[in-house]
């Protein structure tokens, strides 16, 4: 027994193989209804799977729509009040806070069943938004606190909804249906960015928060409905599973003893460092352009917020539109051609090409196009891959380890990148120097992706 023991997950996977085989047999029965035939345009939806898959897709649509409303508000507040450097350091603060939040989440998971865990945590975040709304309306400078909160909100709510999906579906079902769920997430991101872009000027950032509160309440209701429909189809065994709480094993403990999960965690850290490097370069160039176009006077703060918010709204709108196209028409086909593990290499190759180009030509309009290409792949194919990687793991790994990966490991990447920014800023690095450093990190990311490819092949040899 070494430091990384994968046997428990192998047992969990072996135990679920009988269920998977039964599920596959049921799925092969004829009789798709009109809904399932329509959804099969995106992926292979089998008889009886349509209603549950559709509700989860709508849930992800609504959740990502709410997140992008809040994300554009976040960028408007943090960049106008503090600039790109403060934004980077605020990201680092999230990781410190998450050191306490992740164990707390794990403990709550041992007290509540999966459906209540998702519903109540979603409603908790909705109540937080009301506090931000009233504080902002009262004139408080909430940019830094709100930025930290949105980062925690995003990784927890989105991660646990994907964890819910991996728990509801078998390995074979997840590989087929996750492209559909990802399409809902991508479409919701497009809708959220589009709505925010048209409301940020007339309503301002704070009233948009109230729209997000309503969306999160809808998400909580959809979670309950999806759990009921899918577990009802699964029979008594699935109903008992729905009511069961998680074991006391913590998320960090799961990562430390499982090589497969640890590699996913390391890949997540490196991915986030690379992504943040591009975001930092983009944000810095945008602030420079905003100051040039609008001005730097204190009386122009509101105008700078509106300019930055409008620019980011357009940026996210394009990013999410491309992401939706990739998710809807390409992801399932990429899965069929290269499989889950083969798809691990697509994003780092794009990132490598992106930073080579930035190194040669760091112009805002060029960086904007490159980041749209990189982020759209990240938000579509890469997000679906990261969710699918946890299909052959235990329930505890799907909730607790995923929560640790998507929260602490993501923010650990923020901390490391904040350190790079601090050193680079102190040494007066330009964007080309940052791009050069990121190239080296991207090469390391490719190496970790290869090691994870090997582990996944060993864990699930029959599914590529």
Q: What is the tens place of the pLDDT at every residue in 281-328? A: 888 788 888 888 887 776 777 787 778 878 887 887 788 788 889 988
Residue 304 within any structural domain of the chain: yes
Q: Count other C-beta atoms under 10 Å from residue 283's C-beta.
A: 21
Asked whether the predicted pLDDT for residue 128 surpasses 60, the reply is yes
Q: Give residue for tokens 């290869």.
A: 450
Q: Please give the pLDDT value at position 239.
A: 52
Residue 192 within any structural domain of the chain: yes
Residue 234 within any structural domain of the chain: yes
List, as one string, the DSSP characters of 107-141: HHHTTS-HHHHHHHHHHHHHHHHHHHHHHHHTT--
Asked whether the predicted pLDDT for residue 56 surpasses 90, the reply is yes
User: How many whole angstroms separate alpha carbon 292 and alpha carbon 307?
Assistant: 12
Residue 38 within any structural domain of the chain: no
Q: Which two tokens stand for residue 377?
A: 């792949």
Q: Please give the pLDDT value at position 417.
A: 83
List, as one string, the DSSP characters of 12-36: HHHHHHHHHHHHHHHHTSS---HHH
Asked whether the predicted pLDDT for residue 236 surpasses 60, the reply is no
User: How many whole angstroms separate alpha carbon 308 and alpha carbon 461?
Assistant: 48
Q: Please give the pLDDT value at position 321.
A: 83
Q: Which two tokens stand for residue 437?
A: 């450093």
Mean pLDDT of the chain: 81
Confidence of residue 49 (pLDDT cuts 50, 70, 90): confident
- Per-residue pLDDT averaged across 38-47, rounded? 84
Which residues span the domain enclosing 80? 47-459
Yes or no: say if 405 and 268 are a contact pair by the CB < 8 Å rule.
yes
Asked whether the predicted pLDDT for residue 345 surpasses 50, the reply is yes
Per the model's pLDDT, the better-predicted residue between 461 and 234 turns out to be 461
Provide the CA 288 distance to its chain's centre, in angstroms: 29
Give the Å distances, CA to CA, from 215 to 54, 110, 151, 173, 458: 17, 27, 18, 28, 41
Yes or no: say if 331 and 175 are a contact pair by the CB < 8 Å rule.
no
Tell me how many degrees the CA angle 286-288-293 measures, rounded to the nearest 5. 90
> Could you tell me the pTM of the whole model?
0.71
Judged by average pLDDT, the poorest of 21-30, 90-99, 267-276, 279-288 is 21-30
Yes or no: say if 326 and 380 are a contact pair by the CB < 8 Å rule.
yes
Residue 24 within any structural domain of the chain: no
Residue 128 within any structural domain of the chain: yes
Q: Which range among 2-11, 76-85, 239-248, 339-348 has the greatest average pLDDT?
A: 339-348
- The enclosing domain of 307 has a CATH number of 1.20.1250.20
Name the domain count of the chain.
1
Residue 33 within any structural domain of the chain: no
User: How many whole angstroms separate alpha carbon 180 and alpha carbon 36?
Assistant: 11
């Amino acid at each position: 027994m070494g430091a990384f023991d994968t046997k428990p997950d192998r047992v969990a996977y072996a135990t679920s193989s009988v269920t998977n085989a039964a599920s596959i047999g049921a799925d092969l029965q004829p009789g798709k209804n009109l809904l399932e035939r329509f959804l099969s345009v995106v992926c292979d939806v089998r008889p009886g799977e349509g209603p549950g898959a559709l509700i989860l897709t709508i849930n992800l649509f609504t959740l990502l729509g709410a997140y992008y409303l809040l994300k554009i508000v976040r960028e408007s507040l943090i960049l106008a009040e503090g600039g790109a450097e403060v934004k980077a350091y605020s990201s680092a603060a999230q990781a410190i806070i998450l050191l306490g939040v992740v164990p707390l989440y794990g403990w709550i998971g041992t007290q509540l069943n999966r459906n209540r865990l998702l519903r109540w945590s979603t409603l908790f975040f909705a109540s937080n938004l009301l506090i931000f709304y009233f504080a902002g309306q009262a004139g408080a400078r909430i940019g830094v606190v709100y930025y930290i909160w949105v980062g925690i909100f995003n990784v927890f709510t989105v991660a646990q909804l994907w964890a819910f999906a991996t728990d509801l579906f078998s390995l074979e079902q997840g590989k087929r249906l996750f492209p559909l769920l990802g399409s809902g997430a991508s479409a919701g991101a497009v809708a959220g960015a589009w709505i925010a872009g048209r409301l940020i000027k007339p309503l301002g950032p704070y009233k948009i928060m109230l729209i997000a509160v309503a969306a999160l309440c809808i998400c909580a209701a959809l979670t309950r409905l999806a759990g009921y429909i899918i577990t009802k189809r699964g029979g008594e065994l699935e109903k008992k599973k729905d009511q069961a709480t998680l074991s006391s094993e913590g998320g960090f403990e799961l990562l430390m003893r499982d090589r497969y999960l640890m590699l996913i965690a390391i890949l997540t850290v490196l991915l986030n460092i690379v992504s943040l490097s591009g975001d930092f370069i983009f944000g810095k160039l945008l602030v420079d352009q905003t100051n040039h176009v609008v001005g730097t006077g204190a009386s122009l703060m509101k105008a700078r917020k509106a300019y930055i918010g409008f620019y980011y709204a357009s940026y996210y709108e394009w990013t999410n539109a491309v992401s939706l196209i990739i998710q809807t028409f390409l992801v399932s086909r990429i899965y069929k051609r290269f499989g889950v593990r083969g798809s691990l290499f697509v994003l780092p190759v794009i990132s490598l090409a992106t930073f080579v180009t930035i190194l040669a030509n760091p112009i805002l309009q060029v960086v904007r196009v490159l980041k749209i290409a990189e982020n759209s792949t990240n938000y579509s194919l890469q997000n679906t891959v990261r969710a699918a990687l946890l299909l052959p793991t235990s329930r505890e790994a799907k909730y607790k380890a995923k929560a640790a990966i998507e929260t602490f490991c993501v923010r650990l990447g923020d901390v490391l990148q904040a350190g790079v920014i601090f050193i680079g800023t102190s040494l007066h690095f330009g964007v080309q120097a940052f791009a050069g450093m990121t190239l080296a990190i991207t090469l390391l990311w490719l190496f970790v992706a290869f090691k994870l490819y090997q582990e996944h092949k060993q864990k699930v040899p029959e599914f590529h």
